[in-house]
Amino acid sequence: MEISELGEFGLIERLAREIEVKNEGTVKGIGDDCAVLAPTAGMRTVVTTDLLVEGVHFDLSYVPLLHLGYKAVMVNLSDIFAMNARPRQLTVSLAISSKFCVEDIEALYDGMRKACTKWGVDIVGGDTTSSLTGLCISITAIGEARPEDIVLRSGARPNDLVCVSGNLGAAYMGLQLLEREKVIYDQQVADLRKRMGDAKAKGDTSELTALNAQLSTLSQPDFSGREYLLERQLKPEARGDIITVLQQAGIHPTSMMDVSDGLSSELLHICRQSQTGCRIYEERLPLDYQTAAMAEELNLNVSTCALNGGEDYELLFTVPLEQNDAVQALEDIRVIGYITDADKGCALITRDGGEFALKAQGWNPLKKE
Amino acid sequence: MEISELGEFGLIERLAREIEVKNEGTVKGIGDDCAVLAPTAGMRTVVTTDLLVEGVHFDLSYVPLLHLGYKAVMVNLSDIFAMNARPRQLTVSLAISSKFCVEDIEALYDGMRKACTKWGVDIVGGDTTSSLTGLCISITAIGEARPEDIVLRSGARPNDLVCVSGNLGAAYMGLQLLEREKVIYDQQVADLRKRMGDAKAKGDTSELTALNAQLSTLSQPDFSGREYLLERQLKPEARGDIITVLQQAGIHPTSMMDVSDGLSSELLHICRQSQTGCRIYEERLPLDYQTAAMAEELNLNVSTCALNGGEDYELLFTVPLEQNDAVQALEDIRVIGYITDADKGCALITRDGGEFALKAQGWNPLKKE
């Protein structure tokens, strides 16, 4: 169904139909000039926002809209968790070009709803409009935390341990894989189209029929054995579970942020805002086997990918040295280094003992290459 | 300066430099994964968001970036006021194409800061990224109100008076004026260019010089006497003053929303959500003299413009009949009709006593014409 058949209000009504409010704190959701929320007494509110633009942040030739919706929400929830807070509500604004139909937007919303359901978050409002080119998604997420629980980027102190959840670089490898297969697939299509043109010019109808059949059955790339990398890229999970684990273990990070632009970039943010330096050990970087295998296949340095890859949506945090035993006992969390005085700078210690200054080579969409 | 010289973080730093936090409730502004807010005890939080897309919502050939920034904020504050709430914070996300320089974005931000300063609002966060085409602005505004003060769209009751602040249709007339002058100006440029091409072909250098001089001094349109219409279109003011006036007069609206898509469209929202009908009198529609004069010049029905024009950002609200005297005593507020039972429908009573069903012919960016 074409979106123009429904118009803005019809589309919103259709999308809002399936949205149920789950939080006590959501007094009024979609349908008025504003959403109305009742903050829990004594709690702080945290707010984050992200803008995703087609062609810059996602390529719809290999990103299904369902996954895109899921990811768009998760990247915002990740920022809420990075404050040691809990997400409660979000607003979704979409600018939609005429190439999308109602079912496309429903698929996108379905993905967003799935991500929200996972973390008990209410979609409470938004804006839906047209776009001259492509899709644009703006999400604002709202969360809550007790004042004493909130963790900023600026609280790291010398001798604190630097920790990271999960593993790094896999989402970047997933992207490389998708991009590579896209190029191969596009090339195959272009070759077939060219041969079909030649056959047509020659009037060779049997050749044309054969090529047409080849085109229609042109196989999608085989990603078997690489599913984990694709999942990390297409369907990342915000690490709310880590927040719970730390709380249960009585560990209160001194600083925290999520790894969206790459570990190096995030470490530099924490150190700059905390006025410290850091030492990170290459051998301690958490890597999945598939990430290492893919890096080798693509002839990339896997440590560089882990440091600068981005989109891992893991949590990077620091804890006081005294909590070493407590943090080492936790699953899926790795101590990768420690915080130093600012004058020591931020460095990576390589496997052979070399020391290299960390650089923010991750995602920076406005920076000149 | 090119934006790529600064990159995302450099640009944010530069823009954030001039931002001062004014609200006690703003604990932490720009610079972490989330902004941190301390809601006032016992208050409700209200949240609204708007997405503005170049070529759909604004035309930079006649909208200065300073005004665009101002307006982008005001349209969000207007939604906060429409809940009978007070704005406190907002987040700003921008997708910027390479045609913009740092100074452009600073002008845009300058306009946003001016609007925020006027209403004591803090810019607490956002996202800045690149775009393949044009400018995209997403703003989320957060406000507060006492639970008992909040006014929804759904509270109108039969016999309530329908009131509107200010006047209607002027912003639409301003847009018509700007669009008309743009066409004329573009035509003049095209004509001169064509004549220059002819002169060049003939080798008539003196004619070419003369035409070149004409082109460089081609006058911008003269808008004198029409300033009010332009201001209503380019620099709308959210009516926070009306909220204060109503409060001081002890008037609590039963329903309220702001007029952004056109009076008819908004009245239909209020009546549908309140399960009522309404009668509105054409002769009561508040019009500015310039709106009427411009409508005549353009051969448009001024009432149609007032009903469907949109972008007025006035407040439309209902009050109980008993408050007739109180509301009539207020400046800049006009009673334009009354609420009926739902089965009476929503109608306009014309000057000659005719009755016409109200239709939502206002702004609906996704609807087929």
Pairing of strands B276-281, B333-341: antiparallel
pLDDT at B366: 56
pLDDT at B369: 41
**pLDDT band for position A19 (cuts 50, 70, 90):** confident
Collapsing DSSP to helix, strand or coil, A214 comes out as helix
Q: Is B352 left (phi over 0), alpha (psi -120 to 50) or beta?
A: alpha
Question: How close A140 comes to chain B (CA, Å)?
Answer: 7
* Position with higher pLDDT, B126 vs B78: B78
Helices in chain A by DSSP H: which ranges? 3-16, 65-81, 102-118, 170-202, 205-216, 227-234, 240-248, 263-274, 289-297, 302-308, 324-328
Q: How many CA atoms lie within 13 A of B312 on its CB side?
A: 30
Distances (CA, A) of B41 to A129, A349, B80, B143, B144: 35, 49, 19, 14, 10
- A33 to chain B: nearest residue by CA? B79
pLDDT at B58: 94
Q: How far apart are the first and last CA of chain A?
A: 41
Length of chain A: 369
- Asked if A182 contacts A223 with a C-beta cutoff of 8 angstroms, the reply is no
| A192-245 tens-digit pLDDT | 999 999 999 999 989 999 888 888 887 777 788 899 999 999 999 999 999 999
B281 pLDDT above the threshold of 70: yes
Region A260-283 average pLDDT? 96
Q: Is B61 buried (19+), middle (13-18) or exposed (0-12) by CB count in 10 A?
A: exposed
pLDDT cut 70: percent of chain B above it: 98
CB spacing of B79 vs A126 below 8 angstroms: no
pLDDT cut 90: percent of chain B above it: 77
| A158-173 tens-digit pLDDT | 999 999 999 999 999 9
- A260 to chain B: nearest residue by CA? B33
Q: According to the per-residue pLDDT averaged within each range, which of A72-76, A126-130, B211-215 is highest?
A: A72-76
Among candidate residues A343, A138, A339, the one with its CA nearest the CA of residue A254: A339
Distance, CA of B96 to CA of B80 (rounded, Å): 27
Q: Is A45 left (phi over 0), alpha (psi -120 to 50) or beta?
A: beta
Q: Which amino acid is at B314?
A: E
Question: Minimum mean pLDDT among A32-36, A202-206, A261-265: which range?
Answer: A202-206
CB spacing of B366 vs A4 below 8 angstroms: yes
Q: Is A151 left (phi over 0), alpha (psi -120 to 50) or beta?
A: beta
| A78-103 tens-digit pLDDT | 999 999 999 999 999 999 998 999 99
**pLDDT band for position A363 (cuts 50, 70, 90):** low
- B41 to chain A: nearest residue by CA? A41
Distance, CA of A306 to CA of A266 (rounded, Å): 12
Region A9-15 average pLDDT? 81
Contacts of A147 in chain B (CB under 8 A): 38
| B134-152 tens-digit pLDDT | 899 999 999 999 999 999 9
Region A290-318 average pLDDT? 95
- Asked if A118 contacts A71 with a C-beta cutoff of 8 angstroms, the reply is no
pLDDT at B315: 98
DSSP letters for B213-262: HHHHTPPPP--TT-HHHHHHHHS----HHHHHHHHHTT---SEEEEESS-
Region A182-193 average pLDDT? 89
pLDDT at A216: 83
pLDDT at B365: 53
- Asked if A367 contacts B4 with a C-beta cutoff of 8 angstroms, the reply is yes
Distance, CA of A267 to CA of A273 (rounded, Å): 10
What helix, strand, coil percent values describe chain B, rounded to 5?
Answer: 45, 25, 35
**pLDDT band for position A369 (cuts 50, 70, 90):** very low
Which segments of B38-103 are extended strands (E)? 44-53, 86-96
**pLDDT band for position B77 (cuts 50, 70, 90):** very high
Collapsing DSSP to helix, strand or coil, A221 comes out as coil
Pairing of strands A161-165, A314-319: antiparallel
**pLDDT band for position A4 (cuts 50, 70, 90):** confident
Distance, CA of A367 to CA of B3 (rounded, Å): 7
Distance, CA of A337 to CA of A255 (rounded, Å): 14
Question: Minimum mean pLDDT among A9-18, A199-208, B315-324: which range?
Answer: A9-18
Handedness of CA A86, B35, A110, B368 (dihedral sign): positive
A4, A24, A47, A98: best to mutate for the B interface, most B CBs within 10 A = A47
Region B207-229 average pLDDT? 85
User: Which of 295-334 (A) contact B at CB < 8 A?
Assistant: none
**pLDDT band for position B29 (cuts 50, 70, 90):** very high
Q: Residue with structure tokens 């204060």?
A: B244
Give this complex's ipTM. 0.90
* Mean model confidence pLDDT for chain A: 93
- How many interchain CB pairs under 8 A, A with B? 241
- A9 to chain B: nearest residue by CA? B364
Distances (CA, A) of B284 to A53, A302, B117, B328, B336: 45, 72, 34, 13, 5
Distance, CA of A63 to CA of B314 (rounded, Å): 42
User: Which of 219-238 (B) contact A at CB < 8 A?
Assistant: none
Pairing of strands A136-145, A86-96: antiparallel
Region B337-350 average pLDDT? 97
